[in-house]
Chains A and B, each alone.
Chain A
Amino acid sequence: MLDVSLKFSRGSFALDLQFAAPAGSIVALFGPSGCGKSTTANLLAGLLTPLDGHIRVNDEVLFDAATKTSIHAEQRSIGYVFQQPRLFPHFNVAANLRFGLKRSRSAHFIDFDSVVHLLDLQSMLQRHPNQLSGGEQQRVAIGRALLSQPALLLLDEPLASLDVARRNEVLPYLERLRDVLRIPIVYISHQFDEVLQLATHVVLMNHGRCIAQGDLPTISLCAELRSLIGAEAIGAIVDGIVHSIDDHTGLAHIAVGKNFLLTDAQQLVLKQPVRLQLLARDLIISLDNPQRLSIRNRLHGIVVKLEPDDQHSVLLHIDIGGVQIMARITTAACEELHVQTGMNVWVLVKAVTLRGHVFPITKGNSR
């Protein structure tokens, strides 16, 4: 459990942030550069002191202005992974990893060998940081933070300093952490695709404030997200389970609410929890149940809300068997079809359109 309330200011920048997350969450702090994400991380870690507020992690009070409690950074059980790896240049990888382990006061939940195995560090233990690539250095930094046996893992844009190739090399390890670790994770990012693949709970930030927070499916529908990631990138994020895989057609049937969505089976495994993103611009609305179409996914739904999008388009919020999704249609189409709330509609989306928008989350949503 995480319960945070922070007030802080420096120069003209002011931070006033409250958020809470249930036990076992992966909380993403998401917002544009300069919105106060890194400041929040430093406040959580104790490298900065809030002017007011409190920080509670799993019932442990790290800071409370009311009772004048403030635990020193070196005594907080927080594993902090910075944007830059910050490895100690005069130690080899093994010594870097052991730095936090030796100084840990809490009970050990993960040992040296497990971390080395988890992050595939075997081949680099004797090397020095300057002999590693940026991605390898960041993996070591993650391992070093983990071995300090933290009660909370704090990742401040760990992929931001890497190029695309290196990012894709490190991202799978973050997914592994998400699936293996039982400690809460705070993941800071300004890349929504990272949030989409890793987070369970999202805190949207702008100008030092929280503008919305909630679980990922809820946040994916909220209007505040649109202002942060742009109209083209928004769309409902829904969780589902691979129900069946048709080897003959190569399609997987993913159970989402009471419906099934068909998409390429590719690397999916039976019974696997997955996360799907249905981009608002990719969905087609029909008032009839159309026949003789190539489109594999035809879902019946009820319009629950019409939200003005921009001058020429409308966002339809549609309930498909207990799950809400969002479709963008032109105002012209909306008027022609006389779309109203409560109306029965069919939502169409091609199976191939969903390619690249389905993310295995292993045990992620069972945390």
Chain B
Amino acid sequence: MNDLELQALQLSLSVAWRSVIFSLPFAIGMAWLLTQHFNGKLIVNTLVHLPLVLPPVVTGYVLLLLFGTHGAIGQWLLQHLDIRLAFTRNGAALATAVMSFPLMVRSIRLSLEGIDHSLLDAARTLGAGRTDRFITITLPLITPGIIAGLITAFAASLGEFGAVITFAGNIPGETQTLALALYSVLQQPDSETLALHLVAISMSLAVAGLLLAEWLTRLSRKHLIHAN
């Protein structure tokens, strides 16, 4: 592996990790919210799923409008917290997080909906309040869903292209992930070898990710077989 390949691989992993770790608590909260009944649920649900159907370039551009140095949120972040997102590694993580957020929410929401509410009632009669029940019963029971969501989102983050290049640019060593590096390489003549290397790395990463997901899901299920 040469420096460019190694750098792109490290960057891809780093961006993907930041993205899923950052979005996980929000995804759990959003999944929970979407299992509740409230006015405007349809609107919230649509907004969450929008990145799935919008062209990624549009999502990237909207992010640029909001989080760019002249955007409403971006300006505030820069002035008050000295945080710059556009064209940075954290920006790339934000873009991938927004893109993979619906996948994570979907997976967690599905397992939340599968929870046996009679167990929560039992916990209630045993003296467990709302937060207590969520931490001691709900969270452990949806762990397989959380893990599945994390892995899917992580895998999707590794390959995110359009939103990242629009919002964070294609800066080697800062925002140039595997997919972006491959795109750059393909623009140059006589670079088939390098391109094939990047393809091989991407594929290995994907296969490893899928195997890990399968293994983790099985492991967590083993502890959670319902008795009834």
Contact = CB atoms under 8 A, between A and B. Distances in A.
A45 B118 CA distance: 13
A198 B128 CA distance: 30
A89 B225 contact: yes
Contacts of B123: 88, 99
A108 interface: no
A305 interface: no
Contacts of B225: 89, 130
A89 B223 CA distance: 8
Given A82-B118, A84-B118, A103-B132, A89 B224 contact: yes
Interface in B108-138: 118-119, 121-129, 132, 136-137
B227 A87 contact: yes
Given A84-B118, A90-B141, A74 B125 contact: yes
B148 to A, nearest CB: 17
Contact of B126 (A84, A99, A129): A99
Contact of A80 (B122, B140, B141): B122
B228 interface: yes
Contacts of B119: 86, 88-89
A278 B112 CA distance: 54
Contact of A82 (B122, B127, B226): B122
A45 B121 CA distance: 10
A46 B225 CA distance: 29
Contact of B122 (A86, A90, A130, A132): A86
A129 B228 CA distance: 9
Contacts of A74: 124-129
Most chain A CB neighbours (cut-off 10 Å) among B119, B124, B140, B224: B124
A73 B224 contact: no
Nearest to A147: B126
A82 B125 CA distance: 11
Interface of B is mostly: helix
Interface in B127-180: 127-129, 132, 136-137, 140-141
A191 interface: no
B147 to A, nearest CB: 14
Contact of A129 (B121, B136, B137, B227): B227
B125 A103 contact: no
A47 B125 contact: yes
Contact of B124 (A47, A85, A89, A128): A47
Nearest to B125: A80
A143 B128 CA distance: 17
Interface string A57-95: 000000000000000011110111010111111100000
B140 A86 contact: no
B189 to A, nearest CB: 58
A224 to B, nearest CB: 31
Interface of A: 45-47, 73-76, 78-80, 82, 84-90, 99-100, 103-105, 128-130, 132, 137, 144-145, 148
Given A74-B126, A99-B126, 12 more contacts: A74-B124, A74-B128, A74-B129, A75-B127, A86-B118, A86-B121, A89-B224, A90-B140, A100-B127, A103-B127, A128-B223, A132-B227
